[in-house]
Structure 1
């Protein structure tokens, strides 16, 4: 017993000694210094600053006076007496709105004992530092995903032979993928998705025999799928979607029998779906949509018991409408968009009780919407551009799972079910392009999560509108081209950003309650019967788009509109405005510096749903502008009014304008020479006014101009011929200006006076319009010798 007690006491002494040793032994000094330098470079704060002064996530415990092994995200090897840092889990330490320098990684690369490094989601900007990367020979896990890293992938990464996990996705990396990728033979996961890599996928990638996940999605890879990939028999996930890969899908793809996910979507593949795919027993996700695949969809695909997601849409595939499908799979998501389905909706879908997402758009489906559709647990039902008829079954809206309903462009009719509000989870409701009629049901306001509602191009009517709660999320409403009448409705809640009511029969004054819509960016009331003057309070609404075309508005255009700093589309055409054009319109910042794009709730969903484009009077005819590109367009249309006076020179400051239409007014004076500064202008219509003087020579600077009309004015002088003006040779665009001359209208001009620059008469290519009178004058004979007479002989 005494011996046992002595042994126990000795063990206790050893334990306490070790405990005391580790209690006072901190992490290596060089590791602490490296971490503090990383923190300093990442946050821009000196390392000596207290953590409380640094508004970044995760650094609260990073105090210089404490053991770095106790810091958040830091793990040390307690088995070693030196307690070196071995793992750094530093994901999301930096706010998303912040851009930190990627050079902050350099201190971490000095820590050769690291086996695990995660610096994902830190807004790191710049190239991946090369110095020190080779020190990380022990590293098995490296995650730099979801940053702002650019440049090429450093070659040193391919020397980290112990890597099992490499994730560089969600950055801006460029260049090609090196064949040295094949040296990382221990890799089990490789994710380079969502970058800008290009070139071919190197065949050496097939050397990664242990790889289970390979994702190169959303890059710019081209060429074929290398045959070596078919040797990677451990692959469970292969995602090559959203690239420019071409040729055919290899026949041997089905030999990758462990694959659970195969995504080749949005490439340029052609040919048929390989028959071997139908034998991939472990397949759960198959995404082949967005290619140029052809042939008949194999019915045996539906025999894959584990298949849950099947996307075949947007190809050139056809459907065997005579085949009897008895699916053995239990699908949760299915897209057969544009796959040649004919007749009634496939009845075999009625047994897919797990179906959450269904897209059967752009087929030739006919008949009523079946009642069994309401028995499914659908979250999203998208069946646009078919031939469905009849009313909407009320049972559909008894579901508490629906989030998206898109039945646009069918032949559906009748009134909306009165119980539509029971589907309170709907976020997107798109029913445009049908034949629905009657008033809007009051219960629609009970859809508490509704964000987008598009009921345009139907036969809805009435003058009473449901009033949405102030708590509604509703941001996008399109009721255009129906038969609504009465006063303009405004009860859509305070979050509304885009309100389109054009093409109805609304009348009366613009309601002043619009001013309470503090988030309203787009308002379209075109083609109605709105009367009265344009109120100055409109300038207090943050418009980007204001379309009041074809109403009965009158009075002068308020100068206060110039306060709309974000406005880049203004259409007041087809009204009864009079007076002069306010000089202050030249201060519209949104038309001076047009953004390349801007976020609206409608833009966000345009990428996924077929929201209606914006209808504008573009280049002389009604056109639709793509909504997801709306931010790049800037135009001002004041045509078809009774405006008078001179055109303000200040309009020449609107350098972002793509279209300017002042036609069909009573404008006089000369065309401002400042218009030559409208460098982005594509269309200019000044026709049917009382403009005089000459067409400014500065028009030769309008390099983007493709459409011009100055007809029916009182213009005189030579038509400019330089730049794009040399292509404006249609006589009709200069018609009924008795004083104009030039080759464009086959009217000779007199010789230039000695004071005029000869460049006005010679075009950019050395040719020009020289009249017989000019030749008789003998002016600048030496220059005329080189002029190719055949070019203009047909005008003489």
Structure 2
């Protein structure tokens, strides 16, 4: 029987709830209470609610204002007739969801004094300031979810969480909270999720975290946490997601971590972990999908036990101190699509390529800054990489010429071979790669002319040649320059479209067919031996933002058409053209500001 409606936006839905976010409450809600549920979820945008809006809802059980454009100081919603007295939510209140609005002000403890039956409080994604209210569960002992994330809360997490004997989910990420994680948090044995990322929490994780045996998500990334991981962390055997990246943890990984066999995602990137990673046995991680140990101090070799992690789709061990070769067992990971081992001390690139090409699901391969001074393999029997979209083998000082097997990578979109010692010419068959839109060959020993065939690269000529997919990477790709992160990308769909050939020995004229590359955003030809005039057709590259022709042997005038060139970085374009003539130190410095990075 549908609920009775006594006022606008008052209804009694029956959502058939399955989780804490939608608790099964409808059977306890009387049908004749006119203001039992106030539901404005996803309604027409409004500027604000009237002052004292909450004060008349004496029998309120469910308040859902989520996903609107509501604004205003939350304290005014409790005030009537300008009174400063706040009576708070009534005793009958069970669910409060004000998430994804533009409310501000401070959530005061007095708002919750009478909410004895509160089960869920979600005020995330607003502009609330001040501390998180204290003694949250002193009166509300049935609370199962607290979500304060994506606000402007400050201060420390107050004591009192230990009284939340039924709390299952606690979220307060993306605020400005600081201090130690409160000790009584570790006594809430009902907790299933702790999500506190992107704050400035400091200090270690207490050994008492082992009490939280029901925990499935531990999300503490982007804080200032330090110390070693608790040796008994393996007692958290139900953990599915452990996200501790971007902190300052130290020491070796505790062996008990291998007992967390339900892990789906394990991210320890950007910490100070150390120890021989090959001594750990990962074979129990049958559910593990994403593993990120990048930017640490791990030693040893690539763990062979990864072959048992049959669900692995993404591995990053970049920026560590690993040695040896990539083991052949990696080819057994049939779902592996993201593989990053840049900035280590690996050897034998020929074996590495022949192993990785057998991983049929691979889309991303980043193995730069390894294989120092080896030869780029040119074996005719290299066949595979059917789904490869990005290949990064930069800053290895590799010798040899661009190998013919690259012509078989018909799904390749980004090829990064900058920072090597590759010789020979740029082969025209690169234009047969239908999706190639970023070719990075800078800082090599390549000679010959700019091949006219490249001016027909399909993905740079026509938008129809390559349809963008709104795909997101399993892990972000980082751009590293001078050992510092200068950017990141979470998708290949919006990758910078570029031809980067600077710092080589290219000669001859810049082909007039260059104007066909309408979708090109960066043309970087500086520090070569190009001669002749600057072709007027460059102005036909309608998407061009960055143009570097400096330090060549070009002659004549800068084409007048470039004076009308409209681009977001027109000033930079002009400076780098002038650098070809003036050669001032300032120009040469700006000349390389976008170049020379490696992918991690």
- Give the TM-score of the pair, scaled to structure 1: 0.62
Instruction: Work out which of the residue numbers 26, 48, 64 in structure 2 matches 1:200.
Output: 48
Matched with 1:346 is 206
Q: 1:268 aligns with which of 111, 127, 135?
A: 127
Please report how far the alpha carbon of residue 431 of structure 1 lies from its aligned counterpart in structure 2 after TM superposition. Answer: 0.6
CA distance in 2, matches of 1:256, 1:563: 67
How far off its partner does 1:689 sit? 0.8
Q: Which one has the bigger helix percentage?
A: 1
Q: Which of these residues, 697, 703, 713, is aligned with residue 560 of structure 2? A: 697
Unaligned 5+ runs, structure 2? 16-32, 79-87, 590-600
In structure 2, the residue matched to 1:518 is 386
d(CA) in 2 for partners of 1:627, 1:504: 22
- Give the Cα–Cα distance (whole angstroms) in 2 for the partners of residues 455 and 191 of structure 1: 47
Q: CA offsets per residue over residues 604-653 of structure 1, 9 Å max, x none?
A: 445xxxx3423479xxx997342125533222201111111111223223
Distance 1:536 1:242 in 2: 53
Q: For the Cα contact (< 8 Å) 1:271–1:293, is it kept in 2?
A: yes
| Matching of residues 43-192 of structure 1 within 5 Å | 163-165=11-13, 185=34, 188=37, 190=39, 192=41
Matched, 1:528 2:396: yes
- Partner Cα distance (2:418, 2:46) in 1: 46
Q: Distance in 2 between matches of 1:454 and 1:428?
A: 9
Partner Cα separation in structure 1 for residue 98 and residue 182 of structure 2: 33
8 Å Cα contact 1:693/1:715 also seen in 2: no
Deviation of residue 534 (structure 1)?
A: 1.8
Match 2:538 to one of 665, 669, 675: 675
Seen in structure 2, the aligned counterparts of structure 1 residues 732 and 196 have a Cα distance that, compared at 3 Å, is: farther
Would you say 1:392 and 2:253 are equivalent positions? yes
Compared with structure 1, are the counterparts of its residues 604 and 575 closer, same or farther at alpha carbon in structure 2 (3 Å cutoff)? closer
C-alpha separation in 1, matches of 2:303 and 2:233? 22
Asked if the contact 1:528/1:550 (under 8 Å) is kept, the reply is yes
Partners of 2:298 and 2:314 in 1: how far apart? 18
* Superposed counterparts of 1:461-480, under 5 Å: 461-470=323-332, 472-480=334-342
Residue number among 422, 427, 430 corresponding to 2:292 in the alignment:
430
8 A Cα contact 1:253 1:277, kept in partner: no
The aligned residue for residue 431 of structure 2 is 562
Pick aligned residue for 2:149 from 261, 284, 289: 289
CA distance in 2, matches of 1:363, 1:338: 6
TM-score after normalising by structure 2: 0.81
Matched, 1:538 2:406: yes
Distance 2:162 2:515 in 1: 63
Q: Does 1:710 align with 2:577?
A: yes
Q: Deviation string for 1:439-484 (max 9, x for gaps)?
A: 1121111101111111111011112424334562111111011111
Give the aligned partner of residue 626 of structure 1: 488
User: In the alignment, is residue 358 of structure 1 matched against residue 225 of structure 2?
Assistant: no
Q: Secondary structure at the match of 2:306?
A: helix
* CA distance in structure 2 between the partners assigned to 1:670 and 1:277 by the alignment: 73
Tell me the secondary structure at the aligned position of residue 508 of structure 2: strand
- Look up the match of 1:575: 444
Find the counterpart in structure 1 of residue 478 from structure 2: 613
1:423–1:691 CA distance, 2 compared to 1 (3 A): same
**For 2:230, which of 356, 367, 370 is the aligned residue?**
370
- Correspondence list, 1:742-753, <5 A: none
Q: How many residues align?
A: 544
Q: Which residue of 1 aligns with 2:265?
A: 404
3-state SS of 1:650 partner: helix
Q: For the Cα contact (< 8 Å) 2:157–2:182, is it kept in 1?
A: no
More displaced, 275-284 or 447-456? 275-284
Q: Which of 450-459 and 408-417 deviates more?
A: 408-417
- Between stretches 472-481 and 461-470, larger displacement belongs to 461-470
2:374 pairs with 1:505: no
- Tell me what 2:103 maps to: 245
**Separation in structure 1 between the aligned mates of residue 261 and residue 425 of structure 2, nearest angstrom:** 52
Evaluate the alpha carbon distance shift between residue 531 and residue 212 of structure 1 in structure 2; reply closer, same or farther with a 3 A threshold. farther
* 1:632-680, Cα deviation, whole Å (9 max, x unpaired): 3222201111111111223223333332210111111211222223333
Task: Mark the CA change 1:623 to 1:642 in structure 2 (over 3 Å): closer, same or farther.
Answer: farther
Q: CA RMSD in A?
A: 3.5
Match of 1:317 among 167, 170, 177: 177
What per-residue deviation string (whole Å, max 9, x for no partner) do you get for residues 98-154 of structure 1?
xxxxxxxxxxxxxxxxx8xxxxxxxxxxxxxxxxxxxxxxx769xxxxxxxxxxxxx
Q: Secondary structure at the match of 1:530?
A: coil
Structure 2 equivalent of residue 725 of structure 1: none
Larger RCO: Structure 1 or Structure 2 (Cα < 8 Å, ≥ 6 residues apart)? Answer: 2
Q: Provide the rounded CA distance (Å) in 2 between the counterparts of 1:366 and 1:564.
A: 47
User: What is the deviation of 1:278?
Assistant: 3.7
Conserved in 2, the CA contact under 8 Å of 1:484 and 1:505? yes
Which residue among 121, 136, 154 is the counterpart of 1:277? 136
In structure 2, C-alpha distance between the alignment counterparts of 1:703 and 1:210, rounded to whole Å: 60
Q: Considering only CA atoms, is the larger Rg found in Structure 1 or Structure 2?
A: 1
Separation in 1, partners of 2:368, 2:257 = 30
Query: How far is 1:424 from its partner?
Result: 1.9
Cα pair 1:535 1:558 within 8 Å, conserved: no
Q: Equivalent residue for 1:180?
A: none
Q: For the structure 1 residues 326 and 476, does the alpha-carbon distance in structure 2 shift closer, same or farther, using more than 3 Å as the test?
A: closer
User: What corresponds to 2:509 in structure 1?
Assistant: 646
Q: CA offsets, 1:491-526, max 9 Å, x none?
A: 341111111111112522346666411111111111
Separation of aligned partners in 2, 1:596 and 1:217: 35
CA 1:680/1:185 → structure 2, altered by over 3 Å: closer, same or farther?
A: farther
Give the Cα separation in 2 of the matches to 1:162 and 1:471: 53
2:85 paired residue number: none
Residue by residue, what CA displacement relative to the aligned partner does 1:30-75 show, whole Å, maximum 9, x if unpaired? xxxxxxxxxxxxxxxxxxxxxxxxxxxxxxxxxxxxxxxxxxxxxx
User: In the alignment, is the contact (CA less than 8 A) between 1:361 and 1:383 conserved in 2?
Assistant: yes
- SS state at 2:430 partner: helix
